[in-house]
Amino acid sequence: MRIFGDSISGNCLKVKWTADHLRLSYDWIETDVLKAATRTPEFLALNPAGQVPAVILDDGRPLAQSNAIILHLAEGSALIPADPYDRARMLEWMFWEQYSHEPYVAVARFQVRFQGKAVADLEPRIVERGKAALQRLEDGLAASPFLVDGGGQSRRRRPGGLHPRGRRRRLPPGRLSEGAGLDRPGGEGLGYHLGRLATFR
Ligand SMILES: N[C@@H](CCC(=O)N[C@@H](CS)C(=O)NCC(=O)O)C(=O)O
């Protein structure tokens, strides 16, 4: 598989981390968004939307959209719950991530970290919605180690982060959120999660 991605992008790193976790072999083709490498005729032939991540699967078929890609890569693995309701709940969070987390937290991170903007100069709506997204994650992770847990078990009883049946559930977004400069909400959920992600491979 060939993964076209920019290593400053959370959407792209999601694909890399999923492939690494599943020990899939791939070539990473660094595609610099800041240099408009997604707008060349060659890249647009691969993904007419002009965005990374995009992959070319081993059989030559292309696929874009980070969540479509990671779902496809993880198909049949323990990253995806077997139970249909849990699977739908996982999708619920993934759709939420693209609509309510990424456009605010990732955009704030991009502007602060890569465009050198002060948090005070960010559009207030981005800050407000970004903080709300982090709070939603905090609330979701405060009671349970995974957003889709299926068991409702206490986070403290499973410090290793493994699901009781030994399966890893999809890890929530937020790994790069600290670079956004938004205050982390009070509580233990997100902090615990970020600590665990530091060791997730
Ligand atoms: N919803 C898309 C978003 C992809 C996206 O926004 N990609 C950005 C980098 S994070 C990009 O390629 N921007 C370059 C451009 O639009 O020219 C996904 O999850 O894959």
pLDDT digits (tens, 9 = 90+) for 51-68: 999 999 999 999 999 999
Encoded tokens for 62: 């292309």
pLDDT score at 48: 98
Strands 62-64 and 27-30: unpaired
Place of tokens 């890609």: 69
User: For the chain, which domains are there?
Assistant: 2-74 (3.40.30.10), 84-197 (1.20.1050.10)
HSE of 120, CA atoms in CB hemisphere, 13 A: 0
What spacing in Å lies between the alpha carbon of 108 and ligand 1's midpoint?
14
Q: Which of 52, 55, 115 to mutate to test the pocket of ligand 1 (most atoms within 8 A of CB)?
A: 52
Q: Can you say whether residue 174 is alpha, beta or left, with left for phi > 0 and alpha for psi between -120 and 50 degrees?
A: left
Q: Which of 6, 8, 11 to mutate to test the pocket of ligand 1 (most atoms within 8 A of CB)?
A: 11
> Using CA atoms, how far apart are residues 25 and 58, in angstroms rounded to an integer?
10
Encoded tokens for 20: 């690494």
User: pLDDT per residue over 152-177, tens digit each?
Assistant: 444 444 433 334 343 444 555 666 77
